[in-house]
Amino acid sequence: MTRALMKGNEAIAESALRAGVRAYFGYPITPQSELPEYMARRLPEHGGVFLQAESEVAAINMVYGAGGAGVRAMISTSGPGFSLMQEGLSYLVGAEVPCVVVDMMRGGPGLGNIAPAQGDYFQATKSAGHGDGRLLVLAPSTVQEACDLTLLAFDLADRYRNPVAILGDGLLGQMMEPVVLPDPVTPVRDTAWATTGAGRGPARVITSIDLEPEALEAHDRHLQDKYRCAQREVRWESYRLDDAGIVIVAYGIAARVARTAVDRARAGGLDAGLLRPITLFPFPSQAVRDAAGRARAVLVVELSAGQMVEDVRLAVEGRVPVRFYGRCGGVVVTPPEVLEQIEKAAADVGAGRRVQAGGTS
C-alpha cells in the first residue's frame, strides 16, 4: 500500500474522485481553496464537471440540480460560504437530494479570519437552514480519516438521500499527512427518483413544496424517521477510555491535541481518556453516556465558545460534572493547555485511581 503525503483539502478532493464524484461546484474561500483547485485540475480528466460558480448561493443550487439529475455532486466552503448555503441546504434536505458538503471551519463570526476553528458546529449539526431538516455530519481528525469519511459521506448521502457534511477546519485542510488513498469505486446507486429526462416513463419531480400541512408534516416525519434510522451510523473512537476517570470529549483537530494531552496525563499518572465523536449528527450520545457513567468528570474541548458541549451535556444528563475548555477566533488548543485542564479537573473531582505512568496504549 503506497502512502501519499497530502494536504487534507487535496486528499478529500482525490477521495471524492475515487468515490465517483461527477460534479463539483464551489466558490473560492480560504482555507479550503486547494480543494476546488484540485478539482479544477483533475475532475475534467475523469469526465466530471468542475464549475466555479458566481457565489456559494449559486453553487449549492447547482449541486441541487446536478444531484437531482442523479450524479454524485459535491461542494466545499468555509464559514461565511456555509452560511450562504443554508437556504439551499434546506431545499436539498426537503427535496431529498443527496450531496456532500465540506465546511473547513475558520475563525468567526462575520469575516473573522482564516485560522482553524470549530465555531460552525451548531450550524452544521442542529439544522440544515430553516425548518426541521438536518445534515448528517462527519468530523475527520486526520487526513487519512478525511479520505475515508469522504467515501462514507457519499455512501450515506445516497443511502439517506440527504446532504452529508464533512466538518473539518482550516488546519486539517492545510496540513499534510501520509494517506493510503482508497481504491476508486463505481458506486451502485439507486437513482430511480432522479430527473434525467423522463424517456417514455412517467415524469419525475424534485421538489420541497407541499401546501397541505398534513402532507408536509408526513414528509417531515419521514425525514425524522430517516434521522432515527441514521442512528445506526453513529461512529466514535475511544482512546484509553476503559479505565478513564476524566473523559475528554473532543472532535476533529481538537481531539488530536487532546489525545497527546491524554498521553501526557497518563504519563503523569492521571486516568484520562478520550472519546472522539466521528459522526456529529447523529451524535454518539450513548457512548458518551456510557463513558461518563464510568467517569468522575467529563471535559469537552473545542475550538469554539462551547457548542458540542451541549450535545455532551444532553447525553450526560447531569450524571457527572461536564467541564468545558475552548479556544476560539482561530487560536488552536495545545497539548499543555489541555493537560492543565485535565489536572484541574482531577484536582476538583479527585485524582481517582492512579494509573501506571508512561506507555502509549
Partner 1 sequence: MATTDLIVAGFGGQGILFLGEILARAAVLEGKDVTWLPSYGPEQRGGTATCTVVIGDETIGSPVVADPAIVIVMNRPSLDKFEPRVRPGGLVIINASMVDRSVRRSDVRVIEVDAMPQAAALGDARMANMVMLGALLAAAPVVSVEAVGRALRDHFPPPHAPQAAANIAAVARGLTLGLRREPKRASSIGA
Partner 2 sequence: MKQVFGRPPVLTAAPTHYCPGCTHGIAHRLVAEVIDELGIRGRTIGVASVGCSVFAYDYLDVDFQQAAHGRAPAVATGIKRVLPDRVVFTYQGDGDLAAIGTAEIIHAANRGERITVIFINNAVYGMTGGQMAPTTLLGMRTTTTPAGRDAAQAGYPLRVAELLAPLPGVAYVSRAALSSPAQIHKAKRAVRRAFQTQLDGRGFSIVELLSTCPVGWGLEPIEAMRWLETEMIPVFPLGDLKVPGTGGA
Ligand X SMILES: Cc1ncc(C[n+]2csc(CCOP(=O)(O)OP(=O)(O)O)c2C)c(N)n1
Q: What is the binding site for partner 1 (CB under 8 A)?
A: 3, 5, 30-31, 113-115, 170-171, 174-178, 211, 253, 256-263, 332-337, 360
Stretch that binds partner 2, among 66-74, 131-139, 162-170, 352-360 (CB under 8 A): 66-74
Stretch that binds ligand X, among 79-87, 143-151, 169-177, 234-242 (CB under 6 A): 79-87
The verdict on 84 binding ligand X (CB under 6 A) reads yes
Please give the DSSP secondary-structure letter assigned to residue 301: E
Q: Cis peptide before 213, with omega less than 30 degrees from 0?
A: no
Distance CA 144, CA 356 (A): 31
The verdict on 175 binding a copy of itself (CB under 8 A) reads no
Based on CB atoms, which residue is closest to ligand X, 82 or 121?
Answer: 82
Backbone φ, ψ for residue 102 (5° rounding): -105, 130
Partner in contact with 29, chosen from partner 1, a copy of itself, ligand X, none, beta carbon below 5 to 8 Å by kind? ligand X
Please give the DSSP secondary-structure letter assigned to residue 110: T
190-219 residues near partner 2, rule: CB under 8 A: 195-200, 203-209
Distance CA 90, CA 100 (A): 14
Backbone φ, ψ for residue 166 (5° rounding): -105, 115
Distance CA 194, CA 317 (A): 43
Partner in contact with 5, chosen from partner 1, ligand X, partner 2, none, beta carbon below 5 to 8 Å by kind? partner 1
- Residue 146's nearest CA partner among 291, 307, 32 is 32
User: Grid coordinates 468530523 are at which residue?
Assistant: 139
Partner in contact with 253, chosen from partner 2, ligand X, partner 1, none, beta carbon below 5 to 8 Å by kind? partner 1
Q: Which helix (H) or strand (E) holds 12?
A: helix 8-18
Stretch that binds partner 2, among 34-42, 178-186, 234-242, 303-311 (CB under 8 A): 34-42
Based on CB atoms, which residue is closest to a copy of itself, 79 or 273?
Answer: 79
Stretch that binds a copy of itself, among 36-44, 202-210, 256-264, 270-278 (CB under 8 A): 202-210
Contact with a copy of itself (CB under 8 A): which of 3, 44, 54, 111? 111
- Residue 116's nearest CA partner among 127, 108, 128 is 108
The verdict on 230 binding a copy of itself (CB under 8 A) reads no
Distance CA 128, CA 123 (A): 7
Distance CA 221, CA 110 (A): 34
In the complex, the residues that contact partner 2 under the rule CB under 8 A are 22-23, 25, 27-30, 33, 36-37, 40-41, 49-59, 61-71, 73, 80, 87-88, 91, 95, 110-111, 195-200, 203-209
